[in-house]
A and B are shown apart, each in its own frame.
Chain A
Amino acid sequence: QQQVKQSPQSLIVQKGGISIINCAYENTAFDYFPWYQQFPGKGPALLIAIRPDVSEKKEGRFTISFNKSAKQFSLHIMDSQPGDSATYFCAASRVNFGNEKLTFGTGTRLTIIP
């Protein structure tokens, strides 16, 4: 029930295209859903996050779509650029005062080709 399933494992998108990564969760207590971007040899960087009170959040070229009834959320990268080539992780947690842990997806390796 703590798992977050992420797909696809790898993704190749042409420059200028839309990259879409999907995640699904089972624990209905989750109420915070961040996406992290990680480059090789670096720590993950918080990209964008959403709470379940909204169905979509957009920041620049990055958009999170959230479907509470389906327990799914996705990351859309518009106008994908070679610099977006990285590994992306979705995660989920319960917002709480305390030691709330993130449950990570398995990651998606995104490659943007010219």
Chain B
Amino acid sequence: GAVVSQHPSRVICKSGTSVKIECRSLDFQATTMFWYRQFPKKSLMLMATSNEGSKATYEQGVEKDKFLINHASLTLSTLTVTSAHPEDSSFYICSARDTGGPSSYEQYFGPGTRLTVT
């Protein structure tokens, strides 16, 4: 089946530093990837849609200068949290569409990255 990986799975950083999270589709190509944020016991909140070779589309209220997204290849998208603050602590999850598969609209999720900003 379609597998999506994320790295790192956990990261702790100091306030003011930047953190990069990688999302990879391991066995399929993904022209579109999505980045979500999830607070404890809450649903997934879409942050942005990442498109290979073009600029990401951000959801309303998400600061694009704070959450930098780069989708440089068909299998890799990165999310960089710049100048992180404690309120950015959260569970970040990516997903990818298998655009070449029989069901090109299905989204497969990564295992998530737990970010803690101290």
Chain A contact residues, CB within 8 Å of chain B: 32, 34, 36, 41-46, 49, 89, 93, 95-102, 104-107, 109
Chain B contact residues, CB within 8 Å of chain A: 4, 6, 32, 34, 41-44, 46, 49, 51, 57, 91, 93, 95, 103-112, 114
Determine how close the nearest CB of chain B comes to the CB of A3; give it in whole angstroms: 11
Q: Say whether A99 contacts B44, CB under 8 Å.
A: no
A-B contact pairs, 5 of them (CB 8 A): A32-B105, A93-B105, A95-B105, A102-B107, A107-B41
**Which of B34, B104, B109 contacts A45 (CB under 8 A)?**
B109
Q: Which residues of A contact B57 (CB under 8 A)?
A: 99
**In the complex, A36 Cα to B110 Cα: how many Å?**
13
Determine how close the nearest CB of chain A comes to the CB of B1; give it in whole angstroms: 9
Determine how close the nearest CB of chain B comes to the CB of A57; give it in whole angstroms: 13
Interface of A is mostly: loop
